Structure 1
C-alpha cells in the first residue's frame, strides 16, 4: 500500500473499505500466469489484505510483505502472524534472492514518475526468465474525487500550504509498455473502472482519507483540516448525485500491468 518514506499511515482508516480495496488485488492476481511460485514479495503489503489474497492462492509459497508504514506492518503481523513482514522503503530495498513474483497493490503511484520504472527494472531485470512483476495503481486523478481535492486546496486560507501536494499522474499505458518492454519478455496492460456504492458523500471523504486525501490533510493543523474537509465535502455533494437508494456511486479507475521476464 505504501513503500516510500512519509508520515505514517493508518491501517484502521485504510481498512474501513477493506473489501473494495482488496478486489483489485484479486483481479490483478487472476492475470498472473504462475501456478506454483515458490517465492513471492508483496511490495507495499499494507495491513496484509493483499498478502492474504496471495497466501490463499499460493499456500505453498514463501511470501514476504514489505511496507514503509510501521502501523501497517504491525497490523499485518496480527493478521498473518506466521508470515514474514518487514518495514522497508521501495526506493532503496533490493534482493539477491530468486523471486517468482513481485506483487504490488496500489503503491507505485506514490513514487515520482522517473523512480517507478527504475524500481521495476532494478527488481525484475536481474531475475531469471519467467519471473513476474504485477502491479496495480489508481488511475483517477481526472475523476471529480481528486480534481475537487485540488480545487478545495486552492479555495481557502490553507492554499499556500497545499500548493503542489497532489501526487503526479501515472504513466499512460503506452508509456508504461514502452518503458518496461526493453527488460521484459511480455508486458500485459489493462484498465478497470470500479463503481463503489458508498453510504454517503461523507463516506467518500472517509474513503479518500485513507489514501489520496492524505497529502492534503497531513500538512494542516486541526482547524485548517476541519475547514478544508468541509469545503471538499461541499464540492463532492455538487459532483456526485445521490442514487435511488440514497447511496453514492464512486467511480474508481485503476491501471494494471503484468510483466513477465
Structure 2
C-alpha cells in the first residue's frame, strides 16, 4: 500500500467528494445507530454522516496513519477515527456495543476497495458484519482503461523503470453487473450503476496533479529520486498529449462504479 498525503488528496476535494455523496444518497437507512466508513481518508466526508444520520455513532477506519491523523480533527462525541484494515473489519472491535451485539447498520466504503487484493472476496464478510436490514454501499473507480492509467502502466514497463514498477498490479475493476451478481448471491437487494464524470481541471499538468494524489502513487513511491524525476517528466508529457488543455480547462473523464446492498431483515 502507498503512503498518503491528505493535503494533496484534498486538492480536488469537491470533485472527489461528489461520488461519495451520490453513493450515500442512495442508502435508505432510517435512524441507524451505527455507521462505519471503511477507507475514510482525511475524514471530511465521514463527518457529514453525523448530520445525515443524527442518531448514529459514526466510526471512520483507514489503513493510513497519515489519513487518520488528519481525520481526527473532525472527531467528536459521535464520530471516531481508527487505523485499521478493512479486510479485518469486525463490529466487535470498534467500541460500539450496539454494533458488537447486533451488527452494523450502515457500512460505507468510498474509493477504497480497489486497493485491496482480490477485493470481491471481502464482500461476504462485510455483508456478514451488517445487522439484519443493514446497508452496504461502496464505490470504486472504473477508469483503469483510460489513458491516465494505461499510459502510467505502459511507462512502468519501460526498461528504465520496470525493475521498480513492472510488478505493480493495475487492478482493473469489474463492471457494476458483477457486483450486482455477487451481492445478490449473498441474499441482498442490490442497486448497482455506473457514472462517468467529466471533471474540469484548472492549471498546468492538471491530470498529473490529480492522478499523482491517488492512482499514480504506487509508481511514484516505488522509484528512487533520480528515476522518479525522469518518470514524472515522461508521464506529464504523455498526459498533455492525451488530455489537451482547452480555453475552459482540461477535461478528465472519470468512470465510477457504485453498488448499494440491502441485507434482508
Is this contact kept in 2: 1:201–1:248, CA < 8 A? Answer: no
* 1:249 paired to 2:242: no
Is this contact kept in 2: 1:76–1:85, CA < 8 A? Answer: yes
Task: Specify which of 48, 61, 69 is matched with residue 66 of structure 1.
Answer: 61
User: Aligned pairs, how many?
Assistant: 253
Deviation at 1:188, TM superposition (A): 1.0
Task: Specify which of 102, 111, 131 is matched with residue 107 of structure 2.
Answer: 102
Structure 2 residues not aligned, in runs of 5+:
93-99
**Which residue of the partner structure matches residue 88 of structure 2?**
92
Q: Deviations over 1:78-124 (max 9, x none)?
A: 133442110001122212422110000100011123xx233221121
Q: Distance in 2 between matches of 1:99 and 1:17?
A: 30
**TM superposition outliers: structure 1 runs of 4+ over 6 Å:** none
Is this contact kept in 1: 2:23–2:137, CA < 8 A? Answer: yes
Q: Deviations over 1:156-184 (max 9, x none)?
A: 51122111314311122232222221223
Secondary structure of the corresponding residue to residue 183 of structure 2? helix
Secondary structure of the corresponding residue to residue 247 of structure 2? coil
Structure 1 residues not aligned, in runs of 5+:
1-5
Moved more, 181-190 or 125-134: 125-134
TM-score (norm: length of structure 2): 0.90
TM-score (norm: length of structure 1): 0.91
Q: Distance in 1 between matches of 2:239 and 2:126?
A: 40
Is this contact kept in 2: 1:242–1:248, CA < 8 A? Answer: yes
Q: 1:81 to 1:224 in 2, by over 3 A?
A: farther
Is this contact kept in 2: 1:28–1:256, CA < 8 A? Answer: yes
Aligned positions of 1:64-213 closer than 5 A = 64-82=59-77, 83-96=79-92, 97=100, 98-113=103-118, 116-125=119-128, 127-155=130-158, 157-213=160-216
Secondary structure of the corresponding residue to residue 161 of structure 1? helix
* 1:43 paired to 2:38: yes
Q: Distance in 2 between matches of 1:194 and 1:149?
A: 20
Is this contact kept in 2: 1:26–1:53, CA < 8 A? Answer: no
**Which residue of the partner structure matches residue 97 of structure 2?**
none
Q: Distance in 1 between matches of 2:24 and 2:238?
A: 36
Secondary structure of the corresponding residue to residue 40 of structure 2? coil
Cα RMSD of the aligned pairs, angstroms, is: 1.6
